[in-house]
Amino acid sequence: MQRITGENLAKQFIDTQIEALRSQIGNSKVLLALSGGVDSSVVAALLIKAIGKNLVCVHVNHGLLRKGEPEQVIKVFRDQLGAELIYVDAVDRFLDKLAGVSDPEQKRHIIGKEFIDVFAEEAAKLQGIKFLAQGTIYPDILESKDGIKAHHNVGGLPPELDFELVEPVKLLYKDEVRVVGKALGLPDNMVFRQPFPGPGLGVRCTGAITRERLEAVRESDAILREEFAAAGLEGKVWQYFTIVPDYKSTGIKDGKRSYEWPVIIRAVNTRDAVTATVPQLPIDLLEHITARIISEVKGVNRVLFDMTPKPTATIEWE
């Protein structure tokens, strides 16, 4: 298959897929878990073009999304593209289940299982759904076949959800999905979004998650993203985010002793996430981000920058 490298090829792909989707689906209904990530967003935009209101999107807010993400999904898909979108506010449900759980793998397990439960409950409420659309891409299939990782997109849903699969981007690589997304008119910050783990901010609020500390992760992450974008680093640094660990240190605020959390900044460059290096960043940018975080984020009195390549460190802290 010819690689999709530009707008014309993307448009050809879109036209062919619309035909193929229409003939596969007919007048049936299709369900899609829309996370706001590149792959599921492109699949949603393709299906909206192909079958319109017969696509039902479910966006689950598990409380671990970045600042502004659920709002953007609603704005782009419901308001601009006219999608049939079910928004599920499952924040309390996830955070209650996660309360007091400090083991990273147990946290991942709870988030993954709860997600499937919420999605299955929503699916059970709907009538006449025959198909399930997924944003599986080619590397997911390769990695699952080689047993490298059990990807969430391949398998994973409970057997009682007896759907036929619709996977329109399963032969594409990530860069091709982005070109198609752009040709479909999706916004740049969705199409060129940096990778974001399934368990979201949950693995960046280390140890047992609390709502206050999670808010510190979300607010500091938003400041970091805003400042990287303003400095022209968006799309140049592969992944960048903040972590708020579950311990405090002593500081001084308003002339008084403070005992608050640190924020750790992580920024990495990599090709495949197997190894990663830390980019050199302008010190005045880091100083400016530090000043904003300590003045704007509640409960924080210190900012650190993680200098460690992978290996020995992993990209995420958990």
Query: Which residues of this protein are in contact with ligand XMP, per CB under 6 A?
Result: 108, 195, 197-199, 239, 273, 310, 314-316
Shortest approach of ligand XMP to residue 316 CB, angstroms?
3
Nearer to ligand XMP, 129 or 304 (CB): 304
∠ Cα 241 243 248 (to 5°): 155
Nearer to ligand XMP, 300 or 315 (CB): 315
Q: From the DSSP assignment, how many helices (H) and strands (E) are in the chain?
A: 10, 9
Q: Using the 8-state DSSP alphabet, how is residue 6 labeled? A: S
b/e 282-314 (16+ beta carbons within 10 angstroms → b): eeeeeeebbebbbeebeebbbbeebeeebeeee
Nearer to ligand XMP, 100 or 311 (CB): 311
Say how far apart CA 176 and CA 6 lie, in whole Å.
9
Under DSSP, is residue 316 helix (H, G, I), strand (E, B) or coil? Answer: coil
Shortest approach of ligand XMP to residue 155 CB, angstroms?
15
Under DSSP, is residue 25 helix (H, G, I), strand (E, B) or coil? Answer: helix
Say how far apart CA 172 and CA 7 lie, in whole Å.
15
Say how far apart CA 135 and CA 36 lie, in whole Å.
11
Nearer to ligand XMP, 168 or 199 (CB): 199
Shortest approach of ligand XMP to residue 240 CB, angstroms?
11
Shortest approach of ligand XMP to residue 274 CB, angstroms?
8
Nearer to ligand XMP, 114 or 260 (CB): 114
Nearer to ligand XMP, 87 or 238 (CB): 238
Shortest approach of ligand XMP to residue 276 CB, angstroms?
7
Nearest residue to 300 via CA among 224, 202, 187: 224
Shortest approach of ligand XMP to residue 297 CB, angstroms?
21
Q: Tell me if 281 sits within 8 A of 169, measured CB to CB.
A: no
